Structure 1
Amino acid sequence: MKTNREEILQNALQLFMSMNYESVSLQMIAHSVGLTKTGIFNYYPSKLDLFIAVADRYLFHLQDPENKFAPSDGSLRDFIDKYVEGVERTMAEIVRLGNIQREKMPGQLANAGYFHLYQQVLFYYPDGKQKLHEWMEKEELLWNDIIRGGVERGELREDTDIQEAAALFRQVFIGLAYQMSFSDGLDVGILRKRFHHIYGLLTR
């Protein structure tokens, strides 16, 4: 079977999720897809180029709010539901991709491996810290816009601190995702419950 670029990216992702960047070699990636090291060079001239392609495809593209969340009706309540659904879809994709080589990346560890990928982007992706900041800021602005709209339409209390409320939703998600990544992964039922609890506080 002919190896394609997507197969190389998926297998490289699994290796970068389960090992440190320094420990992953092009020879290992080539072996995982049945190519020679020279064969990998036909697609990517260096390990860094391949790592950048992996991060672009499976982190920045996958986590971009425009790709992750379906359009909502503009209300915060509906956005919360769309947000949780988007998180659930993305988690399922992460676990699927992390399970390409099951003996190295069991499903319950795929989410922890994904956080490991984030950390490596900070160190090895050119301007990775800035790019991660821009992506996170984009999602924060989305929360701000939705909450501001809720205040203006009367869905939320008029004394709502928009930035603090947006930060609270984000921090609950990130905290739960990180905490649960080391067991069975994020429980979206708990995430939805926490989000709706915050929503209730903003509407009283």
Structure 2
Amino acid sequence: MRGINAILSPIFLAGLFLLTFLTAGLSQDRSGADVLRDLRREWFNLAQGRTAFEVSDPQHVPNFLKLAVEQSGCRYEDGLRVAPIHFIRVAHGRLALVPCGGPLKTTQRAFDLSDLQKPLAIKFPFLAYPDGIGASGDAPGFLTWDKDAGFFRAETTSDISNIPARYTYRFDGPPSNFVLLRVEVRRNGIGDWSTIWDAPRLSDLAKPNQ
């Protein structure tokens, strides 16, 4: 009898360990599913079927966005005193355009909400001084969405040249990014916009010489 117990004890312990392991795994899976379900419910309650809307009250900013915004160093509560957060569905994804308060001015940052569990900050290409193209987490100005044209535009004034400039972007995704299409300026600060840079069409460059 003791021999049988000696044989069965390791088997029993192994079975108990396996059962505990499987139970823990299933519990973690349920927990992950619960988190995702809660995030989707939070988004559904916020959007209410709208493809574009604004949030001005810090208390109504969804928790999944708050964490990503704070980690980026954006002072959104100060920014909301100047402008609302814009939520937009575009290019099969979701965007949040968040105002960020600063000591001198309020800027705007964009976050990709395609994965509600991992909102991602998106950088903006811009013309760098004295030449070349750089990238920044802050938009060059507050973005406006031209739904009919499918473009975003941002107007700004350079701290160096003091010349008003307008940037035109296309939003692509996934992976989510802003593509710089055009830069225009008003050389005297008034009048019509003059294009100083246009993105080349790679499809045209790939065509053989005719």
Structure ID, larger Rg: 2
- Would you say same fold, with TM above 0.5? no
Judging by fraction of residues, say which structure has more helix.
1
Query: Of the two structures, which has the highest relative contact order with CA contacts closer than 8 Å and spacing of 6 or more?
Result: 1
- Normalised by the length of structure 1, the TM-score is 0.25
- Normalised by the length of structure 2, the TM-score is 0.24
